[in-house]
Amino acid sequence: MASFDITDPLSFLKEQMMETLRLVIDPELHINIIDLGLVYGIDIDAEKKLVNVEMTLSSSYCPMGESIISAVKNCIEGHYDDYAAAVDLVWEPVWSYDNISDEGKRLLGM
């Protein structure tokens, strides 16, 4: 997950968007995608009003992948009216259970 950078004028907005993405729930695990560690970062082009979410899935064969990607776009665009969202699905670094936050592990009973 990205960290707050006081020198980046968009850092607060990025963190706010990351928190908003907690509303996107993995339909199989019933945990939000932030606590699952699926979101690697957010890049904002303020001039074009475009948000690019870099994320992965738990598996390249995830049957709910398209649903999660659509939910990410809808979440950003629904909460930030002026912005369009795109998802950059990446496979490196590979997702692992180590990506899950402490809260996510608690919710999963780990």
> Could you report the per-residue pLDDT of 18-60, keeping only the tens digit for each?
999 999 999 988 999 999 999 999 999 999 999 999 999 998 8
pLDDT at residue 1, rounded to an integer: 45
Reply yes or no on whether the pLDDT at 8 is more than 80: no
Tens digits of per-residue pLDDT, 52-80? 999 999 988 888 999 999 999 999 999 99
Q: Is 68 helix (H, G, I), strand (E, B) or coil?
A: helix
Q: What are the φ/ψ torsions at residue 42 (nearest 5 degrees)? A: -130, 135
pLDDT at residue 36, rounded to an integer: 96
In this structure, whether the domain defined by 11-96 belongs to CATH 3.90.105.10 is answered with no
Residue type, 95: W
Q: Look at residues 56, 21, 37, 23 and name the one whose alpha carbon lies nearest to residue 104.
A: 37
Tens digits of per-residue pLDDT, 84-107? 999 999 999 999 999 999 999 999
Q: Look at residues 94, 91, 72 and name the one whose alpha carbon lies nearest to residue 83.
A: 72
Instruction: Name the β-bridge partners of 43.
Output: 52
Distance CA 43, CA 58 (A): 21
Distance CA 72, CA 31 (A): 14
Tokens 């259970």 belong to residue: 97
Q: What average pLDDT does the structure give for the chain?
A: 92
